[in-house]
A and B are shown apart, each in its own frame.
Chain A
Amino acid sequence: MNLGTRAILYTARKWKKTLLLFCLLLSITTLVLSGLAISDAQEEQAEELRGTTGTSFTVSRNTATGGWGNGGNGSYSTQEYLTSDMMEKIVAVDGIEGYNASIRTILCLSDVNGQWLEQLEPTGHSMVDCQFYSYSCINSEYHSLFLSGALEMCDGEMLAPSFDNGIIISKEIADKHGLHVGDTIQAVNDPFSNDKTKELKIVGLFEVVADKTDERNNFNEASYYDYANNAFVSETTMKALLENYEDVGYASADFFVNDPEQLEGIIQQVQKITSINWNNFIITANDEVYERVSSSISDTGTLVTTLIVLITVVSMVLIILILSMSIRSRKKEMGILLAVGIEKPAVILQYTIETLLIAVAAFPLAYLSSKQVAGMLGTLFGKTAESVIVTTQHFTLVATLGAILLIAAVLISCIPAMRLKPKEILSQME
């Protein structure tokens, strides 16, 4: 009788032991597979976070180092402004995804016939009600109101740097006046001066996502204007509307980086641009949100990893204990096998095959069961069930390592008995 046959007969006839080991392997492997899937979901979440938290740095005038002048409204800083030229130099640094700088003004909007549009909740004074709080954008996608998620596009498109004569208004205002994407309206900075009136095409509509009942979120804190009364135009449009006023440049600009981890390095690169006098400008990193979220995410990551390691170690100890107990109880058998001339390596191989036979059944089943429970377990770690996926790579990894660990466990369990001479094994059991 060969050792393979003996292994199969043992596994089949000592079915209670087989079942115990099978259940143990099944549950451990299921847990470890789920753990791996959760840890991967974790990694993915962290990666996604890097791409979406919109980490940026702001370059602004340093009024502390500039001089001060006096004008009609009191003293003002004479510090230089950020020019388009400077901003283009900065954005050319590797790793910067885009930037935005805004000029805020109040524009009066009317339809093509010159009929003033009305704010969402009009006061009854037409010259007040037609005032809309407006921003110019180099790229509206990077405007802080869109990035923060307070506003969201619901129709049309964003204002790209190349876009001219376009405007984005809120869906509520558009609905109120029967306007749609593609319609034309008119805008003027100050209707009582000789400021130019421009015809602008509505390129997009936004929705206010912030909670309507939450006053603080629903209103632009800086202006007390309802977000629905905001409007966005391109940089060139704004400059044309304000052509009667001096173009000084921007007080500050926001630059967005692809990978929050790189932020510090990028800022250092930016500071090396010699054509900009860095004595006149301050760079501020805006990565508190990323730091906060990512540290909580990496905490969960460490927890998941610790749990996987813990489960694996504890279960290995458990399996080694069970196997050593089982092999100790098989001393008599080992003595007999040795007495009839079967060699020690063949006996160890038989025990190894028995264990692997159980693993061959338990591992694939664990793959299937982990697919069922991984999602559920993932929700305990703040993952969505759909994001926790047990892949075939996980399975291959666990099956290979599992097999190696099991073989090691059998070998370790066999050491005490294998050091004995056959006579000692036989006399010990009598």
Chain B
Amino acid sequence: MTATVTNPVSTDQQAEALPGYNYAFLDEISKKAIRRSLLKAVALPGYQVPFGSRELPIARGWGTGGLQITLALIGAGDTVKVIDQGEDDSVNAVNIRRLVERTAPDVTTTTETGTATIIQTRHRVPEQPLREDQILVLQVPLPEPLRLVERREAETRRMHGEADYSRMWVALYEDIVQNGRLTRAAGYPALVNGRHVMTPSPIPRWDLPQLHMSQHLSLFGAGREKRIYAVPPLTSVVPLSFEDYPFTIEQFGDRACARCGSTTSFLVAIPNEDGSVEYSCSDSDWCYSRIDAQEHGTA
């Protein structure tokens, strides 16, 4: 790997990796267009910027929005991590990682949260807080938080334009009236920078505080619906909630991860063969690095 390629263009050497394809799969014009949409998204936190979603060798709905962002950003010296529901070795994550490796040979891939420069993820935010030199790219299936209360696209656009979110609030109010609490679990809506309501993609509520006033940049890509949006560093992300019914994250009581013993991470239930249930970290890198540290006595 040479670190001299600062502005990645197709060269003979790179084309060898996957003959007939451009560096990072997409052509340079498409990547430039995506980066321009990303700049606009960063300038308008939480605002959904339309972009010309490209075809990829992965079906839409399988992370093509996130992948296009990743491909438009990577260059020599980048280290990419791809996770699906917190795991690096799911089929989907492996496929995306392989595409990056084969089309951008000067990019390294990793499973370590700490060493990645770009982390593409589906449905989770890593437990370990990210730094200002890291970018989180989230795959988004449904980018429009107002779709629940309004089907018409022209109307949701007007609502965002006027910051007219009362119908969203009514839906939350009715939830409390009917169920006695806020029942929304994944993809909890939040107000970004005091202006735009966004869906953080179907991450658990647990992850939402990680996006608030964070050090890192979060980018959201929806391939099918052709939308990109962003939460820049040090930007407020406030879950919609009430003074007397505040936003709360998932509670795991005194449960701990069966593998690493963590009590401070998002846990998923794993059924055993005998019918009992065990819990383990959903973020596999978090879990493995804790096990590693314990084995090497640095815990």
A, B bound: no
